[in-house]
Amino acid sequence: MTIAGTVSISSCSTIVEEPMQLQNAKEVSSEVLNSSDIKARKKVAVERNYFEKFSNQLMQVDENGEPTQNIPAYFPGIGEGNSTHMGKALTFLNQFAFFNENGLNTIGAPVTQFYSEELVEIGLIDIPDDVSSITTDGKGNSVWFKNIENIVTPVTEDKSDFVAKVEIIGGTGKFENATGDGIVVGFFNPNTGEGESTIKGRIVY
């Protein structure tokens, strides 16, 4: 679950030779600025609340990306919505579903497994395999999530609820080297793949 005009201003003026005192003053000012503490200008990471909400469209496919009705299966998806730190945004995600003694379970799967081309098209590369979902504004900013735990609860034939724990393990743009964690709450229709999700947590960037 893809995310130009140029204004040219020109002016003509008469060149007047600056007094020597003014030239010297500019040189001194430049030296003072160049000798300032560069470290003080570096951005200091701050912890903030994080919230996002998306409408998602999931698919149920096998390891080759072919549609399947069987489990185990992958559930890649794309969503559209909003993030508190990006505004309008997209999300790309991937989950692997399987049965065990506790019933249906899902775990995070590499988001690049099915969406590597789409992510490269918007400039997102070198994404680790443990990143199972990405939220991006399509303008160079993105937050990378690692799925820690995911619990799916079938409610009806047309609805399954889920709750997940996620960890923020990086990003791009203003979210480069971001860290944090959150809780994902949502639902989806197993028959159509349509659903919604929210993430509430904390992010440091």
For residue 20, pLDDT beyond 90:
no
pLDDT of the residue at 41 = 53
Confirm whether 24 is domain-assigned: no
CATH for 104 = 2.40.480
Give the chain's mean pLDDT: 85
Confirm whether 25 is domain-assigned: no
Backbone phi, then psi, for 118, in 5-degree steps? -65, -40
pLDDT of the residue at 42 = 61
pLDDT in tens, 26-44: 443 444 444 445 444 566 8
Name the pTM for this structure: 0.78
For residue 73, pLDDT beyond 80:
yes
- Report the pLDDT averaged over residues 103-129: 95
Confirm whether 74 is domain-assigned: yes
Confirm whether 28 is domain-assigned: no
Confirm whether 111 is domain-assigned: yes
Confirm whether 1 is domain-assigned: no
Question: Could you give the number of structural domains in the chain?
Answer: 1
pLDDT in tens, 180-204: 999 999 999 999 999 999 999 999 9
Confirm whether 17 is domain-assigned: no
58-96 residues labelled b (16+ CB within 10 A) or e (exposed): bbbbeeeeeeeeeeebbbbbbbebebebbeebbbbbbbb
Domain that holds residue 159: 45-204
pLDDT of the residue at 103 = 79
- Report the pLDDT averaged over residues 37-62: 85
